[in-house]
């Protein structure tokens, strides 16, 4: 048998080069960088904590007593308030009391956005015109839904009041319609003592006369009754 220095050769073949065997070291795992690493870390954390998607709101009905007020006769530029008070007369907490306002008078009796009116005309980009300017709505009540405000939960025997501070800017007769629910999704319904849904209408006549105002000794501007 032939042999060669520095290695083992096949019989009759050229000498081989020295052999090198890589040490059996585990290969490091690939490194995640940037957003990929953050996403993976969050996913692992959630999986380890046994997190789950929030449960959908269950359909439910809550008994309430409601009261609405809005002056039936108003003057242009006269500051006034629309108030809706909701009292929970049941034993369970209402999730998120919500109020939706519309104005009657669209085509075919359709509703118009809150505090607005419908103006006919084929050349108009928008047919909605404001009747009242909203100086301030219910505090912290804005939602992503059109003409809808929400004030949060109401515990048993507790009440919440929606207040809109408004100023009329268009004369005429108008009807404001309101609807109250126990959440913005509508799955939590409110019912009066007689079982009816909590809704109603407020008819208002806005005079073309402007309000007369005066300045008090304290510097406040107030309307003078006419």
Per residue in 98-150, pLDDT (tens digit) is 999 999 876 666 678 899 886 665 555 555 788 999 999 999 999 999 899 99
Q: What is the CATH number of domain 60-224?
A: 2.60.40.10
pLDDT beyond 80 at 152: yes
DSSP state of 104: E
Distance of alpha carbon 76 from alpha carbon 112, whole angstroms: 20
- How many C-alpha atoms does 97 have within 13 Å on its Cβ side? 28
Share of the chain above pLDDT 90, in %: 54
* Tokens 């019989």 -> residue: 11
- Summarize pLDDT for 44-69 with one digit per residue, the tens: 454 545 445 556 778 899 999 999 99
Q: In the chain, where are the structural domains located?
A: 60-224
Q: Where are the alpha helices (DSSP H) in the chain?
A: 34-49
Per-residue confidence (pLDDT) for residue 20, from 0 to 100 = 46
Give yes or no for a contact between 206 and 74, defined as CB atoms under 8 angstroms apart: yes
Read off the pTM.
0.68
């Amino acid at each position: 048998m032939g042999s060669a220095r520095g290695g083992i050769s096949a019989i009759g073949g050229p000498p081989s080069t020295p052999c090198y065997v890589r040490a059996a070291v585990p290969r490091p795992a690939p490194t995640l960088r940037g957003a990929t690493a953050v996403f993976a870390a969050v996913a692992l954390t959630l999986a380890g904590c046994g997190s789950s998607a929030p449960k959908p709101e269950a359909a439910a009905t809550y008994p309430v007593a409601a009261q609405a007020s809005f002056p039936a006769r108003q003057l242009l530029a006269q500051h006034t308030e629309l108030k809706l008070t909701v009292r929970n007369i049941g034993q369970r907490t209402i999730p998120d009391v919500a109020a939706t306002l519309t104005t009657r008078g669209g085509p075919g009796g359709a509703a118009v956005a809150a505090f607005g009116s419908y103006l006919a005309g084929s050349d108009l980009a928008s047919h909605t015109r404001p009747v009242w300017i909203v100086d301030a709505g219910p505090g912290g009540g804005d939602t992503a839904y059109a003409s809808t405000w929400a004030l949060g939960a109401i515990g048993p025997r507790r009440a919440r009041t929606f207040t809109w501070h408004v100023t009329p800017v268009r004369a005429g007769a108008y009807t404001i319609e309101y609807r109250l629910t126990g959440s913005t999704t509508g799955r939590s319904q409110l019912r009066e003592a007689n079982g009816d849904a909590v809704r109603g209408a407020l008819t208002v006549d806005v005079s073309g006369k402007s309000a007369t105002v005066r300045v008090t000794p304290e510097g406040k501007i107030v309307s003078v009754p006419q």
